[in-house]
Structure 1
């Protein structure tokens, strides 16, 4: 296995969940990834989860090997001492989206700090449930009007999301899969969250590395000094990464860490 050369001493590593840390095939974290995380921690590298998932949907992740957790694509950050940062969506935008859902324009997954619920099931919802190994509870979208919503999954395929973008004033969208777009506050995203975490832990951006596979990972790629795309990643992610490793199911994280000299082989 040939080595990859980097100039900086890596002190922090950020990992996406689905398709990076968690296999789409098994819905589990590969054993080689668990080994890599343990060895990184032993070598003094602080490891962080950076995902669009909610805090109640990360049971598969090895929490003991991680320093802190960036959730809802950056809208909720916590470590073992408590919540470090949180931001919810604009109530007017939630009302607009609830109205569009009630008009039958699309299905939507609403995420609060305690639970998530979907407005209904269509082919796109069922497809992503199978992909990530989760089943979404259905409930009345009007419940979102009085809730603190951190993030939405709007189930519209590429090229069809302008109906949401034009109607809302304070949202940002990012996509990692064809089934839906992540929707969250305009100033949010993984890039801002990674900057906040690095600042809190006193680590320079050039001393950080990011691992990802989807479009919502490009923000953290832009912040961290080194970026690694999974072999199973989207084409634009592989193109923009500094390095491309193997697929998640072929020891991608472990192999990258070895080639970068972050852990032993």
Structure 2
């Protein structure tokens, strides 16, 4: 059996849509008996009610490796300790950095923060730039508003990761208080700090425990299904894909991936807008 681990945003999905040729590739992969495994930085709440569900989620790696699902059962769940979670959120609160925490049961933020976070999805023509973008942002707002819950305290919550936004629209007077470089300098010795890969975000990043990566999920899936290393493929475009890509025999970078990701891969395909996923599957004769 061959297995394909695939990232979500920037790899098979862009602007919350999956290209037609990518859908076709998945149909052919299934017909050819290829085991496909979603491997994403998104936590479960950010996957549900998106086109990713159409691709099948029986086996998947979510929260950048924090949660592993095999045959629809959660078999592994690692998350930030309360002390780690509070260290990060206290820092963001101190500098008024907008953020939310991702848990398996939902997305959470402080009371009063939801409206602030919606500012990154403008619904006026002047701010959005086009009617199609206005409609897209209305849909994004509706989904996000339902997903994100405001709470007084994060006590007792198992945070898979925390992500923050570096978007001037969300800051008072448009002044970003902490850049991604500031946050990396402050936290990177103790945590994974990666730029966001969600399409449509102007900037920001995500933080999780250094021990949590997609590598663990890859190893668990391969062991469970008795996959030969030479039959393992992975494709991605983001920094949190690095350890996934470094631990399979056939590593594929999307054309839109940064050079650090392309460097560890044996093959670079086209960008997502140029049917890169479909073309890569053709190149490796998986379809």
Q: TM-score, normalised by structure 1?
A: 0.82
Please name the residue that 1:226 is paired with.
250
CA shift in 2, pair 1:189/1:42, >3 Å: same
State the shift of 1:64 in Å: 5.1
State the shift of 1:189 in Å: 0.8
Please name the residue that 1:126 is paired with.
120
Please name the residue that 1:47 is paired with.
36
Please list every run of 5 or more consecutive structure 2 residues that lacks an aligned counterpart in the other structure.
122-127, 167-178
Alpha-carbon distance in 1 for matches of 2:55, 2:92: 39
Q: TM-score, normalised by structure 2?
A: 0.76
8 Å CA contact 2:246–2:265 kept in 1: the answer is no
8 Å CA contact 1:124–1:179 kept in 2: the answer is no
Q: How does 1:108-187 map to 2 (within 5 A)?
A: 108-119=99-110, 120=113, 126=120, 134-135=140-141, 136-137=144-145, 142-155=152-165, 157-162=179-184, 164-165=186-187, 171-177=191-197, 179-187=203-211
1:206 to 2:197 alignment: no
Alpha-carbon distance in 1 for matches of 2:252, 2:184: 31
SS in 2 for 1:161: helix
State the shift of 1:183 in Å: 1.4
8 Å CA contact 2:58–2:69 kept in 1: the answer is no
2:94 alignment partner, one of 88, 99, 103: 103
2:284 alignment partner, one of 250, 260, 263: 260
Computed over aligned residues only, the root mean square deviation of the Cα atoms, in angstroms, reads: 2.9
SS in 1 for 2:105: coil
1:88 to 2:79 alignment: yes
Please list every run of 5 or more consecutive structure 1 residues that lacks an aligned counterpart in the other structure.
1-9
Deviation string, structure 1 residues 136-185 (Cα, Å, up to 9, x no partner): 4565565223211111113354311146417x85x332335472222122
1:243 to 2:252 alignment: no
Q: Which shifted more, 54-63 or 156-165?
A: 156-165
SS in 1 for 2:195: strand
8 Å CA contact 2:6–2:234 kept in 1: the answer is yes
The count of corresponding residues between Structure 1 and Structure 2 is: 249
Alpha-carbon distance in 1 for matches of 2:9, 2:204: 14
